[in-house]
Amino acid sequence: MMSRLVKFIIYTSISVLVILVALLVFFWAPDKSVAELEQWQLPDSEFVEVEGMQVHVVQSNLCQDLNSKTLSEPVVLLHGTSASLHTWEGWATALSNESCVIRMDLPGFGLTGPYVKESIDYTSDNYAAFVTQVMDRLQVSRATLVGNSLGGKIAWRTAALYPEYVEKLILIDSVGYPATPKQVPLAFTLAKYPALAPILNYVLPRDVVRKSLVSVYADDSKVNDALIDRYYDLALRQGNRQALIDRLQEFDSTENQDQIKGLTLPTLVLWGAQDDLIPVENATRFHQDIRNSQLKVFDNLGHVPHEEDPVATVRAARQFLVGEKLD
């Protein structure tokens, strides 16, 4: 007679199998090639080769005249986890009349996709090296680095490791210090389990993307269909889902944080007070530890304030870039 334990194992296995089949049937979402995602290229998009990758980059018109003495230092914009260069659309438009503005899809995200060399890990060290390689490829010797979340950590790590490349920093809800999130984007939570990779690489419920965006915005009404479509489509870029899983295994918010105190370059710290992922208290820590820094907190914005309200946030950035003290 079949034991209760054996029955339990059989029933559990069947239940799991049914769930897996249901996921594959209802949420099947295979990878897409760059060609299939062509709608997310911008009119001035280009692909430059770095470490065997075709890196998706957008440069503003003034980047064609980098030797002009009338231009300020170029501005390089670095997005956060699961975002893309599109997150900076408002900032790029506002800054492009006075600066060379460069934005890129970091490895593992957007149209750039994963590292071609599997031996390269998704660490902040490697991302910092990547930023300098792109700058070299574009013949940009020095720039202001602007980064949100993961991009913020990449920015300050680049300044710490390669100070000759960085004129100023703008850190927006940046990774750097320990943080206890009030809520974590659902996609991040799922991707932290490598055992789920065989499933996550073939399914992607659109609602997971929606809920992840709602968790990083303060105003849920701004999470519209167009925004969800962009994040959803670019997550399907071939290799991006596995790259996210790999990157989250490397994530360590406390790594190298002592280097922050060694930074002396002009720095602007921008933060959304409604950030549920990295608390606003961390903004104060950046401001205290970077001697030559200013701090601006936006009461009604969340983890991606530059995307949620580009007008207000870029206004503060422009003041900083021209040497003005913020209000």
Q: b/e per residue, 273-293, with b = 16+ CB within 10 A?
A: ebbbbbbbebbebbbebbeeb
CA–CA separation, 7 and 112 (whole Å): 48
Residue 151 pLDDT: 97
Q: Is the model's pLDDT at 310 over the cut of 50?
A: yes
Tens digits of per-residue pLDDT, 151-189?
999 999 999 999 999 999 999 999 999 888 787 676 666
Q: What is the DSSP string of 46-69?
A: EEEEETTEEEEEEE-GGGGGTT-T
pTM for this entry:
0.89
Nearest to 51 by CA among 123, 126, 102: 126
Beta-strand ranges (E) seen in 10-120 are: 45-50, 53-59, 75-78, 101-104
CA–CA separation, 300 and 273 (whole Å): 7
Question: With pLDDT > 70 as the criterion, what percentage of the chain qualifies?
Answer: 83
Tens digits of per-residue pLDDT, 113-142?
999 998 899 999 999 999 999 999 999 999
Residue 117 burial (10 A CB sphere; 0-12, 13-18, 19+): exposed
Average pLDDT in the 249-260 region? 74
Beta-carbon neighbour count of residue 17 at 10 Å?
10
Tell me the pLDDT band of 190, cut-offs 50, 70 and 90: low
Q: Is the model's pLDDT at 249 over the cut of 80?
A: no
Tens digits of per-residue pLDDT, 39-87?
999 999 999 999 999 999 999 999 987 765 556 689 999 999 999 999 9
Average pLDDT in the 9-37 region? 60
Nearest to 260 by CA among 236, 234, 284: 284
CA distances from residue 311 to 21, 37, 89, 219, 308 in whole angstroms, order as listed: 45, 28, 11, 15, 9
Across all residues in the chain, what is the average pLDDT? 88
Average pLDDT in the 270-298 region? 96
Tell me the pLDDT band of 202, cut-offs 50, 70 and 90: confident
Residue 252 pLDDT: 55
Tens digits of per-residue pLDDT, 222-234?
999 999 999 999 9
Tell me the pLDDT band of 11, cut-offs 50, 70 and 90: very low
